Amino acid sequence: MTDGWDGRQPGGYPAPAAGPAPGNPTQGLPGTGGGGTTWPGNPSQGLPGTGGGGTTWPGSPSQGPQGAGGGTSSPWWSDALADPWRDPYAPAAVVVPAAPVDPASEPEPVSDPDVPSRPVLRQVVLISLITALLAGSLGSALTYAFLRGGTAVPRLGAESGQAPALAQRKPESLAGVAEKVLPSVVTIRMASLGGISEGSGFVVSSDGHIVTNDHVVSGGSGKATVIFNDGSSAPATVVGQDPESDIAVIKASRTGLTPVEFGDSDGLAVGDPVLAIGSPLSLANTVTAGIVSALDRTMQAGEPGGPTRYYAAIQTDAAVNHGNSGGPLVDGGGRVVGVNSTIKSLVADGQEAGNIGLAFAIPINQAKRVTQDIIGTGKARRTVIGAQVGGTGVTSGGVRLNAVEPSGPAAAAGLKAGDVVLRLDGHPLTEPADLVALVRKYAPGSVVAVEYRRGSTRQNASVTLAADAK
């Protein structure tokens, strides 16, 4: 063992590079552990080992070199591995300071061209919108499935390669007929002292003539408003009216209109399909369908204090209500065969009637003849037989003639007062109104067969009807 200055450990460690300077305090040599030796009269810390202890020379308050436990490095020791007292088998942590780096010499950072660029705002917004839509769709589907109890809804109905025949709306179908006639049907509003009355009508000439019921325009100021199928309107004036046949003609101040096509009411048969078109209860362009329920249903109608109207009507079960009056009744070909006029109902007097499947229309053959008279002369001719009837029908059937005009059609055919007319052109008679209504159905000059009874004898006669002198 040496004095520590130039001694060598058995392992061949070299001596320290320089010894302590004379007269200066020296730090103790490190040991292998935390213990050390303190010389007398010196409070200095011993040389640290792995725990920080060590030996201090006499009169030197200095700290020994730092071991693994920490302390200020001593300039006397440049290499810890050359410590002559160090246990060669003890671990040691040698910290080598890094060389200083000049910031100016650092290389310029280079970006990698393969790294994808940051998404721009447009891409971010687009992705957000798509995500929101997908989330909303998924939420809606889940909500629907939850409300439906989670059960998937099966496909309803069978696929069809072609529309059914009825859906193709051929001209002879009900839809085809309605499409053809609707442009010629109008709504009529007439102002009067009692307010505004409303009914229906149909165009019969391109220059604006329109047919309607007399009771639609009666009591008015003579000025009306016509509302067409397309919603446009035009003022109109009354051309003429015939209260007893319940037919009136007005003319709208518009040309280029589409007139209806007339049919033949005498060619109808019970069971034929018909359409009623008009504005019931102010519901314009309403179309209802039905059949011809009966023919030559004699009607006697009129308001209290007003004229009595007679006509042999076409009965139909097509729905007709207030406001349908004056509108057309058309056959399966879209031809007008009647003018909707009145209905039967079960309500009491003073109550508003409604449809119960009993509607009546004036035959178009009669309405057309009256219309031509009104447009041509301003008034209509009435067809008469030249006899007077009254009271009630005969118990055994038929209508008794109370009087016969000497120069009238009945007298010319040999009929006399007191004769009981049983049939007129094959139609049985039970009430006086039956004879009047059936006679009005025919045009003046028509020849009708009359079956009558005089006493107990049945006889037949041919009567040529005439127009009245009014």
Q: Quick one: which of 321, 319, 326, 288 has its CA closest to 188?
A: 326
Burial 212-225 (b: 16+ CB within 10 A, else e): bbbbbbbebeeebb
Three-state secondary structure call for residue 56: strand
325 in active site: yes
272 in active site: no
- What lies within 8 Å, CB to CB, of 320 at 6+ separation is 276, 278, 280, 288, 340, 343, 355, 359
- What lies within 8 Å, CB to CB, of 234 at 6+ separation is 208, 225, 226, 228, 252, 253, 254
Distance between CA atoms of 85 and 7, rounded to whole angstroms? 10
Three-state secondary structure call for residue 147: helix
Among candidate residues 83, 214, 242, 246, the one labeled active-site is 246
- What lies within 8 Å, CB to CB, of 188 at 6+ separation is 198, 199, 200, 201, 210, 212, 216, 217, 224, 225, 226, 227, 236, 250, 326
246 in active site: yes
DSSP labels, 156-190:
PS---SS--TGGG--TTSHHHHHHHHGGGEEEEEE
Q: Quick one: which of 412, 400, 408, 320 has its CA closest to 358?
A: 320
Among candidate residues 62, 200, 325, 341, the one labeled active-site is 325
Among candidate residues 215, 265, 279, 331, the one labeled active-site is 215
What are the CA-CA distances from residue 439 to residues 316, 324, 415, 431, 435 (Å)?
Answer: 22, 26, 15, 13, 6
Q: CB of 66 within 8 A of CB of 84? A: no
Kindly give the residue spans of alpha helices, DSSP state H, lying in 378-463.
Answer: 409-412, 432-441
Distance between CA atoms of 264 and 154, rounded to whole angstroms? 53
Angle at 222 between CA 220 and CA 226, to 5 degrees: 95
Distance between CA atoms of 234 and 414, rounded to whole angstroms? 53
Give catalytic residues, as residue numbers. 215, 246, 325
